[in-house]
Structure 1
Amino acid sequence: MALTDMLTGVFPLPIFLYFFAMGNYVDPMPYNWCYSYKYLFENIPTIFHTASIWLTVGLAAQRYVYICHSIQARTWCTIPNVIRATLIVYAVAILSQVSRFVDFSFEPIPVTSKLQPNISYFGCVEMLKPWFSENMDLYLNIYFWFRVIFIHLVPCISLVVLNGLLISAMRNAQLRRMQLLKQNKKSESKKLKDSNCTTLMLVAVVGLFLLVEFPLGIIMTIYIADNTFQLALFKPETYSVMTLISNFFILLSYPLNFVVYCAMSRQFRETFKRLFTGGQSLEERECSQYMTVPTENGRTIFTGPETAL
């Protein structure tokens, strides 16, 4: 997830640096930048953003299974299954954008520099492929409604439900912890507290995710409905500004996730520190090795570290 979030912001970085940081946005785009701009600024970041969304859903779903269905977690939440699920998410994210790499081409046209009027060079104009231009309305409706439903609305609604279930599980776990303390079972109480800390951290990350993703989903829904039913609710420039602001906050949320991890997980801080300082890993994981969940008769089960966190 961290790698996916990082690459969502890294790929557009050359565009930001060359055109905006260096002031080259004033001139028409040179032909040798046209394909790079399209791929690095639009298509590839969309792939990683899509993968990031569904990896977040997968993490929340896994945590819910781990907390509330520990028996099933032993067979479902394993490292091989996590790897398979991650590969499937990336494959679907790539497939969802394949057509956007081949539905256009750029033609060179002579242009004059605005910064240096005596200099001419080749710019570009985007041309739609014949199969695209002949079926533009159908193609764009399918593509954008698919994104609105399966990349924004379904994941966001799923995360709202999963977050609610996790918060409910945390409240029940807190009540059980109080009972364990009354029974002087401090070891079990500590394990339950550590489990709650990990769950709370995930709830905070998912909450931050929903805070920045919901506006983009709403903007896209309005935009597609506007174009499908010819409502003319906003001007194209307004949609562009709203989308830019929403994307800015999405990119801003990625480093904030790191702050949440560091602030709420001592284990994360220690592991991150060992990446740079070296040292031996702890033999026993203190924060999340055992998860405490209730059974039907009120007893608790402690599941071991063979399942994935």
Structure 2
Amino acid sequence: MEDNEMGLPALIYDVPTSFNTPLARSLYGIATPVIVILTILNNIMVVITMYTDPPKKGSASRVQHSAIACCNSLVGILQLPVLFYYFSGPSFPTNISKPWCGTLRILGFVLPHTIHTISMWQFVGLSMQRYLVFRFPFSCVTWYNIENMTKLVKIITCAGVVVNIPKFFDFKIIDFEENMASNDIAFDMNSTLSCRAEYRFVDGRQVYSLFTNWFMAVTVHIIPCVTLTVLYILLISAIYRNNTRRQNLSRNSRLGRRQAINQTIKESSVLVIMTLCLIVEIPSAIVRVGKLIFIQLDVTSGDGTSGEGNAIILTHFFTLLSYYFYVYIYLIMNYDFRTTFLSIVRKWRPA
């Protein structure tokens, strides 16, 4: 199967030497679990702070920020069992049971991809909402409220689940040990694993695979990245316009100028988060689309030194790593968030 955009070995059965196992083991068996756990702790603090911060308590943006934080945490949490089972040991496990084969398929690819889809579109929704609020601050009061933002989060979440539903049921687990034994075919269990996932159907398998891969590339990579890039440019213009207006209004007040600067820095935090998102998502989109157009191979195919497999592994790893830094962007650039966060830390600090 070709669902290898997550950077894991798509083939459980007969993982070839061309797959960069040392790189994957270093990143997935050691670094990623630590990053995921720290990201979970960070995002817990983000949600607590968002719902404790008095200016944010009535803010609709807290709903989308919290939804993104939850999605970013879930992408890593869901993959932890797979990462520990397949990459924490000195070698790939052998005699894998059918449940673990299905676990790799569901927790390694389907569910993380579903959550990543939701996260990307939640981020597009947040970026669009930020632009409209910054650019049209007076007219947005009619629709920009917690109830509408909650509805938007629910709609995006449901849409992300619906488009990925076929991936939960389009596969079956093939037991190669049982299949080969019944056909008197010998194989080495030291180098060959015992099962893999394959599509349930034979007719139209290639067409289905090509369609789903292009559909996911367009909906999860191309459209969100292009939309975020356009919104990024529009947000720069809107923030610059707001900053100019505030500076003109507060030119005779030192306190007013300081408040204007803090507000501009706060508004600019979304640009920094968008920059971080685009830095990891655009290379991922290029790798994904390039593989579909030029290579037509899965991550475990070809020469391991040629870079195709390494690129997918690295883009997947850096996507997970980027989620870790969101809380620090809030702390550095959002004065209200920083003040509330520090007050929470002081309350929890032992006497």
Same fold (TM over 0.5): yes
**Stretch moving more, 133-142 or 201-210:** 133-142
After TM superposition, list the pairs within 5 Å mapping 1:106-121 onto structure 2: 106-110=173-177, 114=190
Distance in structure 2 (CA, Å) of the matches to 1:150 and 1:272: 35
Q: Residue 169 of structure 1: SS of its match in structure 2?
A: helix
Q: Residue 77 of structure 1: SS of its match in structure 2?
A: coil
Distance in structure 1 (CA, Å) of the matches to 2:153 and 2:236: 25
Distance in structure 2 (CA, Å) of the matches to 1:29 and 1:89: 36
Offset of residue 112 of structure 1: 6.6
User: Please, which runs of 5 or more residues in structure 1 have no aligned partner?
Assistant: 116-121, 280-309
Letter in 2 for 1:199: E
**Stretch moving more, 160-169 or 206-215:** 160-169
Query: Which residue does the alignment assign to 1:225?
Result: 293
Render the CA deviation track for 1:35-84: whole Å, top value 9, x for unaligned: 11111111000011111111111111111111111233112221111111
Q: 1:255 to 1:135 in 2, by over 3 A?
A: same
Query: Which residue does the alignment assign to 2:212?
Result: 143
Render the CA deviation track for 1:245-278: whole Å, top value 9, x for unaligned: 1000000000011221122223223333555666
CA contact (8 A) 1:180 1:186 kept: no
Distance in structure 2 (CA, Å) of the matches to 1:99 and 1:77: 34
Query: Which residue does the alignment assign to 2:133?
Result: 66
Query: Which residue does the alignment assign to 1:297?
Result: none
**Stretch moving more, 241-250 or 162-171:** 162-171
After TM superposition, list the pairs within 5 Å mapping 1:15-164 onto structure 2: 15-23=82-90, 25-110=92-177, 114=190, 123-130=194-201, 133-164=202-233
Offset of residue 195 of structure 1: 2.9
Distance in structure 1 (CA, Å) of the matches to 2:275 and 2:319: 13
Aligned residues with identical type, % of pairs: 25
User: Number of paired residues?
Assistant: 267
Given candidates 167, 173, 181, the residue that maps to 2:236 is 167
Which has more strand, going by share of residues?
A: 1
Larger RCO (alpha carbons 8 Å, 6+ apart): 2
Q: 1:187 to 1:277 in 2, by over 3 A?
A: closer
Q: Residue 70 of structure 1: SS of its match in structure 2?
A: coil
User: Please, which runs of 5 or more residues in structure 2 have no aligned partner?
Assistant: 1-67, 178-186
Q: Residue 11 of structure 1: SS of its match in structure 2?
A: helix
CA contact (8 A) 2:82 2:108 kept: yes
Query: Which residue does the alignment assign to 2:278?
Result: 210
Q: 1:72 to 1:145 in 2, by over 3 A?
A: farther
Q: CA RMSD in A?
A: 2.7
After TM superposition, list the pairs within 5 Å mapping 1:149-298 onto structure 2: 149-182=218-251, 184-185=252-253, 189-226=257-294, 235=302, 238-273=307-342
Q: 1:207 to 1:87 in 2, by over 3 A?
A: same
Distance in structure 2 (CA, Å) of the matches to 1:123 and 1:129: 18
Query: Which residue does the alignment assign to 1:293?
Result: none
Render the CA deviation track for 1:115-137: whole Å, top value 9, x for unaligned: 9xxxxxx932333212xx21123
Query: Which residue does the alignment assign to 2:69?
Result: 2
Given candidates 12, 15, 23, the residue that maps to 2:79 is 12
- Structure whose alpha-carbon radius of gyration is higher: 1
